[in-house]
């Protein structure tokens, strides 16, 4: 069992007997004898083999390790295909969410613009001798001033973004 496991794990790691021998500071024939079951490594060497093969000692001593074959590659490719499909679905969902977020931004910008046009700066007629009214008027004026300057750029960017993120046919 140990001999078969050493050979199977060595091959799965893509190592030749010579390469494993160099890692373990032994001759190639020693590796060959271990794999043929003609001899067994001592406990210290078993730990070194496990480290060289990046495998727990329990695996070396445990059940028979099956070499990876075409079935394993087929299974792996199917799993990768599923992962790619899931990533594509997530990307599409994010794109759709971003698209609707940009459309909402367009609608919000247009709505606030209409409200500001209809109100026609009502804070201009307020009595600013009251401190609370003065603060509210200054805040409203600052919001309106910033909005009027940035709304066109926000609206244009949101429209372009929503066109670019729409679902392609």
Position 22 scores a pLDDT of: 93
Pair of tokens at residue 131: 């401190």
Q: Rounded to an integer, what distance in angstroms lies between the CA atom of residue 23 and that of residue 26?
A: 8
Position 137 scores a pLDDT of: 84
Within 8 A by CB and 6+ apart from 1, the residues are 61, 62, 63, 64
**Which residue reads 């069992």 in tokens?**
1
Pair of tokens at residue 35: 């794999």
Give the pLDDT confidence of 35-91 residue by residue, as tens digits: 888 888 888 888 889 899 988 888 888 755 555 555 677 777 888 888 888 888 988
Pair of tokens at residue 120: 């026609």
Q: Rounded to an integer, what distance in angstroms lies between the CA atom of residue 107 and that of residue 105?
A: 5
Give the pLDDT confidence of 82-92 residue by residue, as tens digits: 888 888 898 88
Q: Which CATH superfamily is domain 2-61 in?
A: lambda repressor-like DNA-binding domains (1.10.260.40)
At residue 34, does pLDDT exceed 90? no
Domain range annotation of the chain: 2-61, 70-164
Give the pLDDT confidence of 121-161 residue by residue, as tens digits: 776 677 778 888 888 888 888 888 898 899 999 999 999 99
Position 56 scores a pLDDT of: 86
């Amino acid at each position: 069992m140990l001999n078969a496991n050493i050979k199977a794990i060595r091959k799965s790691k893509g190592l030749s007997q010579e390469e494993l021998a160099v890692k373990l500071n032994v001759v190639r024939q020693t590796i060959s004898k271990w794999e043929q079951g003609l001899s067994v490594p001592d406990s210290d060497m078993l730990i070194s083999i496990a480290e060289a093969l990046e495998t727990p000692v329990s695996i070396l001593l445990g059940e028979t390790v099956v070499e990876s074959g075409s079935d394993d590659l087929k299974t792996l490719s199917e799993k990768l295909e599923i992962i790619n499909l899931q990533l594509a679905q997530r990307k599409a969902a994010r794109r759709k969410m971003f698209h609707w977020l940009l459309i909402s931004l367009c609608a919000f910008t247009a709505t606030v613009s209409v409200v500001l046009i209809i109100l026609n700066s009502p804070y201009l007629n307020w009595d600013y001798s009251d401190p609370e009214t003065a603060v509210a008027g200054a805040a409203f004026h600052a919001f309106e001033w910033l909005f009027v300057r940035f709304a066109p750029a926000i609206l244009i960017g949101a429209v372009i973004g929503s066109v670019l993120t729409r679902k392609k046919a």
